[in-house]
Amino acid sequence: MQTVSKNKERESKGRETQGTQCKSPVSDALSLIGGKWKIAIIYNLREDPLRFGELKRILSPITQQMLTKQLREMERDHLIDRKVYEVIPPKVEYSLTQFGQSFMPVLDSLCKWSTEHQDLLHSISEDNQS
């Protein structure tokens, strides 16, 4: 009996250790910028603030509901800033925060890598769709 419980205890400790050992430092970043739309939103806000309608048009076919959800999450995570102007009709602009801007070197590297491997990436994408 005692051997069985000690084995279970070791297995349990092993799983806990494995969980922390397997976590990559990138996981935290991906939890903020992961998904289909967030990188595209950051990319499009890289130079100038944009209004909701402009983002929706640029990111077509994103739905209004999905864009709203993504923007709220990114504002909550301090990646973007939402500025409301007290005018009629209401005007709201979105821009990258300093924290959001700090992601730009990573995004630039990702763009460069994607451009360098464009043919292979397209081939993989076509193979996955068939």
The answer to whether the peptide bond before residue 25 is cis (omega within 30 degrees of 0) is no
What's the pLDDT at 11? 46
Residue 51's domain comprises: 25-129
Say how many C-beta atoms besides its own lie within 10 A of residue 69's C-beta: 13
How are beta strands 50-51 and 80-85 bridged, if at all? Answer: unpaired
Tell me if 114 sits within 8 A of 121, measured CB to CB.
Answer: yes
Domain contains 9 = no
pLDDT, tens digit, for every residue of 10-67? 444 444 444 456 678 889 889 889 989 999 999 999 999 999 999 999 999 999 999 9
Number of domains in the chain: 1
CATH classification of the domain holding 77? 1.10.10.10
Question: Is residue 92 assigned to a domain?
Answer: yes
